[in-house]
Amino acid sequence: MKKLTIITMLIMILSLFAQGDIDWERRVVTASGIGAPNPNMPNMAAKRAGAINAAKMYAVRDLVATIKGMYLSSESIVENYMTTSDVIKTQVEGIAKAYRMVGKPKYFEDGSVEVTVEMSIDGDLSALIMKEQSFDGSAPVGEADYKLSDIVGSPDVYTGLIIDCSDVQLRPALAPKILSKSGAEIYGSANVSRDFAVQQGMLGYLKDIEKAKATSRVQNNPYIIKAIGVQGTNKADIVISDEDAAKVKELSANLNFLRECRVIAIIK
């Protein structure tokens, strides 16, 4: 019995220092929590249910802690925004409670239970956190004035942008920017539709360029360039050459793909 008590104590200590993970490719935050049974419960079923509820509580706590540490932009993290208002903090905590269970609970011999939960970065969370960002306020984007069937094989009509950042230390963020070497902002929240940014994020992050080419986000014919650096305290802004910047700006004047957030960064 003493051995089981020690196991329970160790589990609870580990739970206090647990941290969640951010999967930017799937755009989800994942966290695990471990709950111990209440010895005062009348039966094993009640003890197990209590342990599961405690595990979920710890998992949600770690979801929120992980969200706080996310980069909002190249100069701030989400926690900076949450501390501006108790209402915002409460809203983030409320959104985190709408988590999804991942797999089945794990049961330990002393009655403790571990659960893993996840939640989407996009949707309600992005809408709240990026509420103060200035987005393109023009009319909603309509249907493209070209057919996808016409795009295939056409080198002149681009349906997205892929930036190879594998040679630079880019860190994912919710509201990043793309800058030219000379400092001009080529892409940022002011260039995109709020709806698209909330639904799928301003920038997709993948580790394989071939996989990126095959995604629906950039569709059939993405324009591909290479990053030459990063910028900002959080290293979340992408720097591209002036030549590439001029080309992207030229393309964006005639196509909707930037406004629709059809942009993917290839990271290490």
What pTM value is reported for the model? Answer: 0.84
Closest residue by Cα to residue 201 from 116, 133, 117, 102: 133
Angle, nearest 10°, between helix axes 44-68 and 86-96?
A: 130
Rounded alpha-carbon distances, angstroms, from residue 3 to 9, 109, 237: 10, 11, 51
Average pLDDT rounded to a whole number, residues 61-73: 96
Give the pair of three-digit tokens for residue 101: 């269970």
Q: What pLDDT digit, counting tens, does each position of 222-260 carry?
A: 999 999 999 999 999 999 999 999 999 999 888 889 999
Rounded alpha-carbon distances, angstroms, from residue 117 to 25, 99, 167, 185: 17, 6, 33, 37
Residues 264, 218 contacting (CB under 8 angstroms): yes
Helices vs. strands in the chain: H and E counts, helices first: 9, 12
**Residue-level pLDDT at 139:** 40
Q: What pLDDT digit, counting tens, does each position of 102-142 carry?
A: 999 999 988 999 999 999 999 999 999 999 888 986 544 44
Residue 264: pLDDT above 90?
A: yes
What are the residue ranges spanned by the domains of the chain?
2-129, 156-266
Residue 11: pLDDT above 70?
A: no
**Residue-level pLDDT at 211:** 96
